[in-house]
Amino acid sequence: MVVFCGIFALVTLAGFWAARWRRPEAGMASLEEWGLAGRSFGTWITWFLIGGDLYTAYTVIAVPAALYGAGAMGFFALPYAVIAYPYMMIVLPRLWNVCHRHGYVTFADFVGGRFGNRWLTVAIALTGVLALMPYIALQLVGIRVVIEALGIKGEWPLGAAFVVLAAYTYSSGLRAPAVIAIVKDVMLYLMVITALVILPVKLGGYARVFELAQTSLAKHGASTMLAPGQFLAYSTLAIGSAIALMLYPHTATAVLSAGSAKVVRRNAAMLPAYSFLLGLIALLGYVALASGVVAKNPNESVPLLFLSAFPEWFGGFCLAAIAVGALVPAAIMSIAASNLFTRNLYGAFATTPLSPKGESEMAKIVSLLVKFGALVFVLKLPATYAIEMQLLGGIWIGQMFPSVVIGLFTRWFNPWALLVGWVVGMGTGTGMVWAMGMKGSVYPVHAFGGVYAMYAAVPALLLNLAVATVLTLALRLVGVGRGTDTTDATAYIG
């Protein structure tokens, strides 16, 4: 408890100190300064920030929990990260160029400039905010799991963590999670590497770990090997999740804070180091099974493993690493949501444009409201609701692909066709998950005389693209305009 509280206190101080780190003389009187840290981060800070952004506390808990409960199917998180970085190399440096040239703060800003359609811009912004709310709630669920593992009762510790997060995000903006991300990543690497060196040795080696894990999983019909019927579900989970990963608003916030497109490109080459870490984190699920950890909720397996297998001081260190790992993405996500609201929801309908200072002040207030909403979500509803809502997050975010990624390379699509395709994709994906009682995201698609179990994001996106393509051709025939592209063509070169 002493180690946990001490580390948490030091991280809190670092968050408030970040308000003075690299702060311009004019202060943070604009959304670009508060929400993107002035687009000033170099290669290493961006690497830690994006890594801290994408690999959250819930990743440290949920990925091992998936292997602990479902076996090999949980490993889909590893190939999807491998797929995502070449995709990032192709898309994000080009997107950074355009956004930097025009002062765009969100991907919705880009869509507005590229297609000149206010309603499509609002749709993209709403998608981002909808997907982020349960995602922020899940970070608080991660902190709650850690607090419960420490034996602390009541809701006040979670409330205290919320107040700390809200305070330093308000004062420091994106600089706070950038500083804390460095501490968080060092702690996570130490935690995971130590656990995966010492514990398998105690258990008799990795062959023995897999043998014991297989024995335990077989009791409820799971396995350390994929069954043939799981291949398509596994593949589409990896592909669909990779498509969504780089479209999340918090990814946009971290990437657009980079100092240049070269920084983004270097990070695409360096970030696979986190995929290696993710693979190690996933193995903790099998180690927990082999160690005989019994958890009613699979999400508790990793905290219980550390508390049972290590001295108390190191257990406190590991739990602190997980809790700190929740603070970084929660801060970035709340900033991303406030950027979207300020620029693309309020800004789309405001009769009088906000000044740069007015934008930053509104974004700070909205970031507090977003975090408060996530806290209420966690306290008033069962944690499983947040998890079930999160299943929809990747499906929803994937529907932005035609407007953002394809729109980055061509304006062939009509913006009204993209909007209708978005509606169809959102409705189809949500309907698939709803039909399964919000208990999974792999849907049995009936087509061509067979049944194909697929991640719902993939068929929803294919339908989205099909509708957008057909409607674009139809609108061209009747002479409906494509809107005005206000972006600079030279920004897409290089």
Assigned token pair, 322: 């997980």
pLDDT in the model for residue 22: 64
pLDDT in the model for residue 178: 85
Q: Where do the domains of the chain lie?
A: 2-390
> What backbone torsions phi and psi does residue 445 show, to the nearest 5 degrees?
-85, 125
- 480: helix, strand or coil: coil
pLDDT in the model for residue 28: 57
The Cα–Cα gap between 115 and 486 comes to 8
pLDDT in the model for residue 414: 96
Element (H, E) at 96: helix 77-102
pLDDT in the model for residue 118: 92
pLDDT tens digit at each of 494 positions of the chain:
899 889 888 888 887 887 676 666 555 567 888 888 888 888 888 888 888 777 776 678 888 888 898 899 888 888 887 888 888 889 999 999 999 999 999 999 999 999 999 999 999 999 999 888 888 888 888 888 888 888 877 777 777 877 888 887 888 888 888 888 888 888 888 888 898 889 999 999 999 999 999 999 999 888 999 988 889 999 999 999 889 888 999 989 999 999 999 999 998 888 888 788 888 888 999 999 999 998 888 888 888 899 888 999 998 998 888 888 888 888 888 999 999 999 999 888 887 888 888 888 899 899 888 888 888 877 776 666 656 667 788 899 999 999 999 999 999 999 999 999 999 999 999 999 999 888 888 899 988 888 899 999 999 999 999 999 999 999 999 988 888 999 999 998 76
Number of neighbouring beta carbons within 10 Å of residue 218 = 12
Domain 2-390 has CATH 3.30.390.50: no
Query: Cβ neighbours of residue 493 under 8 Å, at least 6 residues apart?
Result: none
State percent of the chain over pLDDT 90: 37
> What backbone torsions phi and psi does residue 140 show, to the nearest 5 degrees?
-70, -35
Q: Whole-prediction pTM value? A: 0.90
381-430: pLDDT as tens digits: 666 665 666 778 889 999 999 999 999 999 999 999 999 999 999 999 99
- Burial of residue 468 (number of CB atoms within 10 Å: 0-12, 13-18, 19+): buried
The Cα–Cα gap between 65 and 355 comes to 46
The Cα–Cα gap between 267 and 479 comes to 43
Beta bridge partners of 223: 71
DSSP state of 22: T
pLDDT in the model for residue 286: 93
**Cβ–Cβ < 8 Å for 132, 251:** no
pLDDT in the model for residue 79: 87
